[in-house]
Structure formats: structure tokens, C-alpha cells
Amino acid sequence: MSWHRIRVVMRRHAYVLWRAPHRWFDIGFWPLMDIILWGSLGTYVARNSTSATSSTPYLIAGIMMFHILFQSQIAVGTGFLEETWSRNLLNVLTTPVTEFEYLAGTAAFGLFKVLFALATLSITAFGFFRFELSSIGWSILPIALILTIVGWSAGIANIGIVLRFGQGAEILIWGSNFILMAFSGVFNPVDALPGALQPIARILPSTHAFNALRAVLDGKPLPGNEIALGVIGAFVMLLAGFSFTAWMLHVFRRRGFVTRFS
């Protein structure tokens, strides 16, 4: 493995981000819209509720933390798609860059995008709704770790699907986020989901991260069991994502699918 080549992958994507205004939407505009949407919804519900607990912090913290997963996922997914959109995949495949180095570079660059998006989210959440991200405290770190790894895993698995089924499958890069959002209990505990769907939600590591987040917002200590389950699950998901995409890459090379992208 070459750290230098990983850094060059990051530089390659930094150039793209610098010159692609629509990419700034992902880390600037959509986070802003999400805060406005979920913050306003929380404010409205709180205004019409008799409960002493406001739902606003739960909704805002939920969407903020979900953006960690979302940004990590699309950084990896669109990082790879950038090569297919510019038909540059064969150029990359004929350099010494390994699959791991390429994915590591996009994932590491994704961390920058996560930080930028979090900054946007924090500033707007405080500006519009007086919500402070720091209210979560250091508990944010293990929760963010789980969500980052789940995002990378989903992004890597999506690449495998695009390699196997072609560019038509790239809709999954965005679509998978909606699936993860619905099943991870971002805003609500899993038991609020329809009963038949709850087992799916419980096996997702992201669900444990959001359970932990709600516990912290309730004023309870960070639940160690949720974090442990989330971390273990996240690494299992990462390994599964890598294995799946390595398999799809083998199929891609065996069936000569590279000509689809060149």
C-alpha cells in the first residue's frame, strides 16, 4: 500500500470539488435545507404538543448525525462515479493504484466533506434554532465513527453494484441513503417502525448509533452496549462491503465490463 498514491487520490478529488459548484451543494446547500426542514418541523410539532420535551433537538441532532453517514457514503460513491462520468476508469485501472488505495483516498477525502457539512449544519442549526452540536459532548465521536464506517461501507458496496450492473445502477448511490435513513431510526426509536421491518432495523449498526444519540439527548450516559454493537456491526459491514466489491470487481474483469466505461 502506498500512502503517496492515497494522497494523490485525495488531491484528484479536491480538484474536482474545487471546480464543480454542484458538488458544493452536497456539503453546503442540502445540509442547510435539511436543517431548515427538520428544525421547522420540530418547532411546529413542539408548538402543538403538550409534552414537556421538545422534539426539535432530536430531529436536528438526528439529521446532523445522518449527514455524517450520507457524506461519507456519497464521497466514496461519487468519487468512483467521477471516473465513470469522465470515462477515466480505464486510465485509472492501468496505473499502479490499487483498489484499496483508491477507496481509501476517496474515503479520506470524504472526511473533509463530512467536516465541511457538519460546519454548515452546526452554524445553521445554531443560527436558526439555537441548537448546539456541542450539547452532545464527546459522545459524538463514537457515534460519528459508527456512522462514518457505515457510510463508507454503503458507498463501497454501491461501487460494486455499479461495476456489475453498469451506470444505470448509480441511482443506488443516492437511493441507499433513503433506505438507511428509513431503517436506522434517525428520528425515532426502532419500535416506531412497522413490526415486520423492525428486525431489519435492528441489524443495522447505524440504528445503534442513533439509539445512543437519543440516550445522550435524553441526558443519560452514553450506552456502551449500543456503541459496542454499533462499532462491531460497522466493521462487519465494512468487511462485507469490501468483500462484495472485490467479488464484483473480479466479475467486472472476468466479463470484460471495462468496455462499458470506456
Partner 1 sequence: MTQQAADVLVAHELRKTFKKVEAVRGISITVAPGERVGLLGPNGAGKTTTLLMLLGAILPDTGSVTIVGHRLPRHRSRAMESVGFAAGYLPLPDRLKVREALGVFAGWYGVRNEKQAVNEALERFEITQLADRLCNALSSGQRTLVGIVKATLHNPKLLVLDEPTASLDPDVALRVRTGLLQFCASTGAALLITSHDMREVEMLTERVIFLANGQVVANDTPAAIAATFGYDDLEGVFMQLADEARRA
- Chain centroid to CA 81: 16
Closest CB 25 distance from partner 1, rounded Å? 15
Closest CB 20 distance from partner 1, rounded Å? 6
Nearer to partner 1 by Cβ, of 102 and 187: the residue is 102
Nearest alpha-carbon partner for 132 in 113, 114, 118: 118
Nearer to partner 1 by Cβ, of 2 and 49: the residue is 2
Closest CB 190 distance from partner 1, rounded Å? 42
Contact residues toward partner 1 (CB under 8 A) are: 2, 4-5, 7-8, 11-12, 15-16, 19-20, 82-83, 85-88, 90-98, 250, 253-256, 258-259, 262
Nearer to partner 1 by Cβ, of 220 and 255: the residue is 255
Under 8 Å between Cβ of 162 and 81: yes
Sign of CA dihedral 117, 123, 128, 134: positive
Closest CB 212 distance from partner 1, rounded Å? 39
Nearer to partner 1 by Cβ, of 95 and 135: the residue is 95
Q: State the CB neighbour count (10 A cutoff) for residue 109.
A: 23
> 245 Cβ partners below 8 Å, 6+ apart?
99, 156, 157, 159, 160, 163
